[in-house]
Amino acid sequence: MNAATTPAINTADLYDERGDELASVALQFQSLGGRTHFSGQARTIRCFQDNALVKSTLATPGNGSVLVVDGGGSLGTALMGDMIAESAVANGWAGVVINGAIRDREAIAKLDLGVKALGSNPRKSAKAGAGEVDVDVVIDGVTIRTGAQIWCDPDGILVEP
């Protein structure tokens, strides 16, 4: 399904339906993409101030997945900018959740992509490829595994364990 046919799921309504069988990430992410409600199967990356894996992963077919990047909460460098975000759109990713920073906020806000991140920083990341793909990541006490269903909107992030 594409964005036009996927119904927008409201996380508060979903929580009311399913309750604590879903984990809720309490950390306050900002909603920075042009798509405010997004969901899909998670893929994961753990990295620290190095975004080569983010770039290469978002250049592969997303098939409606949500890339969850645990950048260790660092706001010291941007893990995604508008070019990487455009590549995510072109490759069919539903969205990207970054426990860290992005840059090019204004351009990213116009893209048909869900983006949740802690904030922004114009400083770019290293490109050495340090990090791991499809490992379990823990964000604010919530474990997110590749393949887990995840729902995001301006209220927050829900994850199926």
Ligand X SMILES: O=C([O-])CC(=O)C(=O)O
Residue ranges at the known binding site for Mg(2+): 104
Of positions 8, 83, 90, 128, contacts ligand X by CB under 6 A? 83
Q: Which stretch binds ligand X (CB under 6 A): 28-36, 78-86, 93-101, 150-158?
A: 78-86
Site string for ligand X, 112-131 (x = CB under 6 A): ------------xx------
First to last CA, the chain: 23
- How big is the CA angle at 40 (ends 38 and 42), to the nearest 5 degrees? 115
- Find the binder of ligand X among 40, 81, 95, 114 (CB under 6 A): 81
For residue 82, state whether it binds ligand X (rule: CB under 6 A).
Answer: yes
Binding residues for substrate: 81-84, 103
CB within 8 Å of 155: residues ≥ 6 apart: 10, 11, 12
**Over the range 78-103, which residues count as b (16 or more CB within 10 Å of their CB) and which as e?**
bbbbbebbbbbbeeebbbbbbbbbbb
Instruction: Write out the binding residues for ligand X, residues 8-47 only, by CB under 6 A.
Output: none
How far is it, in rounded angstroms, from Cα 15 to Cα 31? 19
User: Which residue of 23, 47, 84, 148 would you call a contact of ligand X, by CB under 6 A?
Assistant: 84
Q: How many residues does the chain have?
A: 161
Q: How far is the CB of 53 from ligand X (least distance, A)?
A: 12
The site for ligand X (CB under 6 A) is made up of: 51, 78, 80-84, 103-104, 124-125
